[in-house]
Amino acid sequence: MKKLNLMLHCGADEVERKVLDMVPTPESTDSWQPIPHHQLVGAIEERVKGSGFEIVQQVHGLTREGDRYFGMIQVANGSNPDDYGLVIGIRNSHDKSFPAALALGAGVFVCDNLSFSGEIKLARRHTRFISRDLPQLVSRAVGMLGGHREVQTKRIACYKETELKDAEAHDAIINALDARVIGTNKVMPVLKEWREPSHDEFRPRTVWSLFNAFTEVLKGNATNALPRTQALHGLCDHVCGLSI
């Protein structure tokens, strides 16, 4: 299986997995209990493997002197394993900036494009008992992977089968602007990528090719990719007549 060149949050310093063990965790208070980065990642790794998924790659990054963590774990995909892989995005903070959360998505191998279709917050905030409840919270989140894989397989197959005329693609790009998938400065790059794909695999005139025209232009910041590609999936699902 070809490995995905996972891209981290803009400005994050990539670190080895073992470095997470050395990041200090702030003291807890009565209302706030931060989760050590390594504890969160370890719980996810354990549950992923226990659920029968194979981890084929992972990447980790830190910002704000270790207070903010961003990571991704790629797991083997049972369907079309040489086409795209399942990706788990992970985030955690020690400065109360955002809650611990997982994002479920896919990565296309040929172009290293990422797209996320769902996010699961492990808690609205780092509450007093989150450390105690972490195994159960992670287990529930990772338990959604199987269903997510089935949904993504159905979705991507439909994208590939749905042909698209130029006029329909142009309408979809304008709708993406209205849905804030892209800004006005990205309209022409997406249109150019649709007309002249960077990769031969996306020359067929299908929704899949248009989807990858968007993700090719949007790639480079995994955190921004989450809300944008969630909206993009909704747009493409509508074009295909999918109800997911």
Q: Where are the domains of the chain?
A: 13-146, 156-240
Q: Beta-carbon neighbour count of residue 243 at 10 Å?
A: 6
| pLDDT per position as a tens digit, 139-196 | 888 888 778 888 888 999 999 999 999 999 999 999 999 999 999 999 999 999 999 9
* pTM for this model (two decimals): 0.80
- Distance between CA atoms of 230 and 103, rounded to whole angstroms? 10
pLDDT exceeds cutoff 80 at 114: no
Task: Check if the beta carbon of residue 217 is closer than 8 Å to that of residue 190.
Answer: yes
Calculate the average pLDDT of the chain: 85
The edge-to-edge listing of strands for the beta sheet with 13-15 is 13-15, 55-63, 68-75, 84-93, 101-108, 113-121
Distance of CA 181 to the CA centre of its chain: 15
| 102: its two tokens | 């997982």
Average pLDDT over residues 32-41: 92
Average pLDDT over residues 235-243: 92
pLDDT of residue 126: 65
Tell me which H or E stretch contains 237: helix 222-240
Q: Which of the pair, 238 or 79, is modelled with greater confidence?
A: 238
Spatial CA neighbour of 225 closest among 179, 171, 182? 182
Decide: helix, strand or coil at residue 229: helix
Q: What does DSSP say about strands 84-93 and 68-75: parallel, antiparallel, or unpaired?
A: antiparallel
| 93: its two tokens | 């903070």
Q: Which of the pair, 196 or 1, is modelled with greater confidence?
A: 196
Q: Which of the pair, 115 or 202, is modelled with greater confidence?
A: 202
Average pLDDT over residues 219-228: 72
